[in-house]
Structure formats: C-alpha cells, structure tokens
Structure 1
Amino acid sequence: MKSCLPPDPHPVRPVQRLPAGACDAHCHVFGPADVFPYAPDRSYTPPDAPFERLVALHDHLGASRGVIVQASCHGTDNTAMLDAIARGNGRYRGVAIVDGDVTDEQLEDLDARGVRGVRFNFVAHLGGAPDLDVFDRVLERIERLGWHVVLHLDAQDILQYAGRIARIKVPFVIDHMGRVRAEAGVEQQPFRQLLELMRNPLAWVKVCGAERVSAGRRPFDDAIPFARALIEAAPDRVLWGTDWPHPNISKDMPNDGELVDLLFRFCPDAALREQLLVTNPARLYGF
C-alpha cells in the first residue's frame, strides 16, 4: 500500500489577502489514525492531517471557511470529517462518501451535521469507477435534500461518461479541473468536453489541483490557461480549494501559500475572485 508524502509544513504568507468570507472549497482531514482509523481496503495511507492543522493553515492563509471533502482513505466512515465540522462551529461544511445501503435517516443526519453533498471517485489509481447502479441510486436519494455530487474523474473519464453525466439531475461538481494534462494543451479533447459540459446549468468545477494538472514544478503556472478558461466559461459555478494536505502527489509538493498566489494569477479580476471565493461557495454550501 502506497504511503503519501506530508504537505509542506512551511506555507508562505500569500502576497495578497483573500477577501473576507473566502472559502477553501476542497480540503481534507486525515486521522489522527489512533482516533479515526483509515479504511482497511484503502489504496494509500496518508500522514495524519488533523483538524487542528487544517484550522492553523486556514488562519495563516486568511480563509474564513472551508469544505472538508471525504477522501477514499477513510472510505465511507465519515467520522473524522463530521468531527471537524462540529468543532469548526459553522466554519466548515462537508462532502461525504456513502454506499448504496445508506438510509434516508442517515442522509438526514449527515445533512443536519453540515454535509451538503456526496463524492464518487472514478480515478483509476483510487480503484476506478464506482458501481454505477449505486451511483444512480444515491443521486436519486440526495435530490430531495438539495445536495450535489462531486465527481473525481481522470481526464479521459469526461469523455467516457459524458452521456451519464448529462443525465444527472442534481448539481454536480468536477474536481481538479477534470485532472486534464497541461502538456496536452487547452485544445485537447477532454478539456474541450469539460468546457462544453460547463454549459449545463447544473455543472460546477473546481479550479484547484494545479499540481495535478501541471507538467512541471512549482509554481504550476502551466495550469493558468485552463483555470482562466473555466472561470470565463461559468463564473457563477466555479470554486477554488487548496486540496490540503495534497494526497498522492508524486511530483512537486505544493506550498499552500503559493497556491493562493497562483489563484490571483488564475483570476486577476477582484470582482470575479469575490464570486469564486465567497459568493459561489456560499450559494452551493449554504454558509
């Protein structure tokens, strides 16, 4: 089983200040394993990244709010995420991972505790596509709660599952700019398909994961054209996040302060940044 590198322990202070109410719409808490054990069938083992360290990072970066996304290493045990949301006293919302056996009562309990969506992994190194019958069944169940679904896809999956994505009836959020490869350019077919997908009023996208898109090393500026194109395509349905603590990074571990600086290069316009960081996540997550 693969072990993950720890995040950069020394985030720089961002050059510019984030606006009041800014939201890191994609971050994680992992463990601590002696309190919140990792799933036995996980594909990777992260270093512990507990709630206290997440809060310290957000305070350092100037992020007022955050969305804690359940990751596959904890499986369907959402306890660590729920604990963090509760301890955040309204600062955090969550995205859960559930299975096909989840009951309406369990979903309502998650909703009451600050969860606003579910996540499905399609990424090959995390086990590939989910059971699509379970996928359809869960999406039917969350519709009445007003939740959304987060789709963690590889670039080619955007093409493979385009028909199924088009049939989704709840808002859906594409993680990490669809994990397109920067070296293939903005004209690559998966990215053109992603831009086309953003014409769907239910489609949202996160302009995060630049280190996963980039072909190079920090500061990952080759991701800028992709982020700018997505912001231009749907400025009212774009989110940003750090992806702290950056699980499964095998290239150059990002510095979270530098990622804030990169965001300002993604989106030089202050009004658009306000939308991206404050207005959009407040609308989707009910802050």
Structure 2
Amino acid sequence: MLSRRQTLALALANGLALTDRTALAAGEAAAPTVKSPVSFAVLPGACDCHVHVIPDPARFPFWAGRGYTPPVDPPESLLALQHALKLDRVVIVTPSVYGTDNAATLDGLRLLGSRRARGVAVIGPGTGPAELDALAAAGIRGIRVNLEQAGVFDPAASAKALASAVQQIGQRPWHLQVYARLSVIGPLKPQLAALPVPVVFDHFAGAQAALGPDQPGFGDVLDLVRGGQAWVKLSGAYRASTRAPDYPDVAPLARALVAANPERLVWGSDWPHPDSTPKPGRKPTDLAPAQDIDDGRLLDLLAAWVPERAARDRILVENPKRLYDF
C-alpha cells in the first residue's frame, strides 16, 4: 500500500492538481510548522494571503543575484499546511530569490489548482504584454514591487518604480503588492492615494511594533486604509517584533488597522518563513535555515487582534475573495 507521501508524489508525477481527492488525502500529513491548535472556528473559504513555494532548485534554479538561499519547501508542504490550519485558499508570492522568474510560483498554482490558489508575480522592465496575459491566465492577480531589495529606500526611486509597474499592468484587474518601509511610504502617500490600481502593503506596512501606532509614517498608512486607498497584510508579525512567540507589541498595530477599516485587511502566514537577514560569514549561496515559527500560533493570534468574529471572518474569507478574484 502506498504511503501518503508516495501517493502525492504519484499524483504530481502524473500532472494531477493537488486539489484532486487522492492528493488531498495524501496532503493530510502533519505540517511540521503547525505546533499549536487554532482555538477559533475557521470558516470555509478562509485564505492565507502570503506564502512562498520553494521547489527543487534542480528544476527551478535560484536567481544568481539573490541575497540568500532558502530550504526547499514544495507545494506538497504548502498543501499540508493548508489542511493543518483548515484553510481552503492561498496566495503564492514569488520571493526575491527567483528575481523576475515566476516559474516556481506558476508551478505551485498549477499543482494546487484554480479553486485553491492565486499568485502575485515579480516582473521586470522587459516583461511584455503577452507574458503578462499568460501570467493572468495562470492565476496571477498582482505584481510585487519590492522596495526593500538591493537597498532601494529612496522615495524618488520608489515613486518611479511604482509608476512603471502601474504602466505595465495597464487595464488588467490586478493590484500592486508593495514591500517597503514607512519612511518610504509616507512621502509617497499622495501618489499612492491616486494610483488607478489597488495597493497592498506587505507585513504591517513595514511598521516596527516596539514603536507603536504613533510611529512616523504609520498614520499615513492608516489614512490610506481608512480611505479605502490601500490594503494591508496582517502578516509577518515576527518581522515587526522580537517578542516571540505571541508578539504582544504587534497587537496595537493590528487593532489600529482594524479600527481604520477591516474591509481593507487580509491575513498571511509568510510561510515557509525564510530568513533573509544577512549573517556574518554566510554567503548568499549558503543555505539559510528558515525561522522557527509556529503557524498554528500565528493564525491563533488573529483572534486576539480581531476578537469580533464578523470582522475576523471578513479578513480571512470575504476580503481575499474580492482582492484575489476567487
């Protein structure tokens, strides 16, 4: 009799979507990053809006200019995470280690299937209309503008990057996912408010929990969210805080965002929790172990941040459904 992992491998070899019944049964194996049970009822249709997939680099090579090398975490592991957290939907984001090559993300979308998965791509100046149309057909619903990569912290350079991205999107019903720090977001507030496409800020918009909701720039984010001009991902709490495992200083940031506009918030695990922080003596080609994060506890924190069930369900189900066109 085949084991669960063998059954899933057979399904993959035959090109079957991971959402097939056989593959679902195989994917019920334990997810090692889920160490604590989730205390609240997760409604059908709930979505993890920020994950990455890192398949075998022999099939999907890393970008030569990457800043770190993550461990392998293929779609099989992502599906196990989805089942462990009782989530039905997921958004796969192309990480910086692939540059502008979205092949690994597209493979994940194909394997998980259109009912479960959507994606956010990274594109370059030479990405043309035909390729963008192919990305849309594969399930891409936005492009990521990473203003934290390669030391790009200048607001003027960031404004140019945003304008270029909007021009490339054209009339496609996509959004801009922006990874930036508050010192960049603040000066760009007028431009961000006027963009003709939705804007989604990663990871609490780069806020630092220790500085609280009154830190410079966070009020600009709240204004954009309050006016419906931007979205924020309640994701990567460990990026904002060092106070593991419950990150209590993140709670005021989350509550301020909920008070501003719960209809412009989504939640993400940031699985598989890559550690891109430079380490002395570690070369970009050296393996950078993932951070030790409890994904069950991360999802459970949402109940503490958003105790009102209706608002929490909106963040997990209805908002992702609208933003990512499920």
Q: TM-score under structure 1 normalisation?
A: 0.91
Q: 2:99 aligns with which of 71, 75, 78?
A: 75
Q: 1:152 aligns with which of 179, 182, 197?
A: 179
Q: Give the structure 2 partner of residue 237 of structure 1.
A: 264
Contact conserved, 1:23 with 1:67, CA < 8 A, in 2? yes
Using the TM superposition, give the Cα deviation of residue 165 of structure 1 relative to its aligned residue in structure 2, in angstroms. Answer: 2.1
Using the TM superposition, give the Cα deviation of residue 155 of structure 1 relative to its aligned residue in structure 2, in angstroms. Answer: 2.5
SS at match of 1:95: strand
Q: Give the structure 2 partner of residue 210 of structure 1.
A: 237
Query: Structure 2: how far apart are the matches of 1:141 and 1:76?
Result: 14
Query: Structure 1: how far apart are the matches of 2:37 and 2:68?
Result: 30
Letter in 2 for 1:77: D
- Closer, same or farther: CA 154–97 of 1 in aligned 2, 3 Å: same
State yes or no: 1:111 paired with 2:136.
yes
Using the TM superposition, give the Cα deviation of residue 198 of structure 1 relative to its aligned residue in structure 2, in angstroms. Answer: 1.4
Query: Structure 2: how far apart are the matches of 1:152 and 1:222?
Result: 21
Contact conserved, 1:22 with 1:277, CA < 8 A, in 2? yes
Contact conserved, 1:31 with 1:38, CA < 8 A, in 2? no
- Closer, same or farther: CA 10–283 of 1 in aligned 2, 3 Å: closer
Q: Give the structure 1 partner of residue 152 of structure 2.
A: 128
Using the TM superposition, give the Cα deviation of residue 9 of structure 1 relative to its aligned residue in structure 2, in angstroms. Answer: 3.8
Q: Give the structure 2 partner of residue 219 of structure 1.
A: 246
Q: Which moved more, 1:12-21 or 1:266-275?
A: 12-21
Using the TM superposition, give the Cα deviation of residue 266 of structure 1 relative to its aligned residue in structure 2, in angstroms. Answer: 1.1
Query: Structure 2: how far apart are the matches of 1:256 and 1:51?
Result: 16
Query: Structure 2: how far apart are the matches of 1:226 and 1:269?
Result: 16
Q: Give the unaligned 5+ runs of structure 2.
A: 1-30, 278-289
Contact conserved, 1:221 with 1:262, CA < 8 A, in 2? no
Q: Give the structure 2 partner of residue 285 of structure 1.
A: 324
Query: Structure 2: how far apart are the matches of 1:59 and 1:10?
Result: 10
Letter in 2 for 1:106: E
Using the TM superposition, give the Cα deviation of residue 163 of structure 1 relative to its aligned residue in structure 2, in angstroms. Answer: 3.7
Q: Which moved more, 1:89-98 or 1:16-25?
A: 16-25
Query: Structure 2: how far apart are the matches of 1:200 and 1:101?
Result: 34
Q: Give the structure 2 partner of residue 186 of structure 1.
A: 213
Greater Rg over alpha carbons, structure: 2
Using the TM superposition, give the Cα deviation of residue 239 of structure 1 relative to its aligned residue in structure 2, in angstroms. Answer: 0.5
Contact conserved, 2:46 with 2:88, CA < 8 A, in 1? yes
**Identity over aligned pairs, percent:** 37
SS at match of 2:53: coil
Query: Structure 2: how far apart are the matches of 1:62 and 1:279?
Result: 16
Using the TM superposition, give the Cα deviation of residue 249 of structure 1 relative to its aligned residue in structure 2, in angstroms. Answer: 6.5
SS at match of 1:278: helix
Q: Give the structure 1 partner of residue 117 of structure 2.
A: 92
Query: Structure 1: how far apart are the matches of 2:250 and 2:93?
Result: 22
Q: Give the structure 2 partner of residue 13 of structure 1.
A: 37
Q: Give the structure 2 partner of residue 4 of structure 1.
A: none
Using the TM superposition, give the Cα deviation of residue 234 of structure 1 relative to its aligned residue in structure 2, in angstroms. Answer: 1.4
Aligned-pair RMSD on alpha carbons?
2.0
- Closer, same or farther: CA 86–262 of 1 in aligned 2, 3 Å: same
Query: Structure 2: how far apart are the matches of 1:36 and 1:120?
Result: 22
Query: Structure 1: how far apart are the matches of 2:239 and 2:321?
Result: 26
Contact conserved, 2:53 with 2:92, CA < 8 A, in 1? yes
Q: 1:38 aligns with which of 42, 62, 72?
A: 62
Using the TM superposition, give the Cα deviation of residue 76 of structure 1 relative to its aligned residue in structure 2, in angstroms. Answer: 0.7
Query: Structure 2: how far apart are the matches of 1:8 and 1:192?
Result: 37
Contact conserved, 2:68 with 2:276, CA < 8 A, in 1? no
Q: Give the unaligned 5+ runs of structure 1.
A: 1-6
**CA offsets per residue over residues 38-58 of structure 1, 9 Å max, x none?**
110011111111111011011
Query: Structure 2: how far apart are the matches of 1:240 and 1:202?
Result: 18
Query: Structure 2: how far apart are the matches of 1:44 and 1:56?
Result: 25
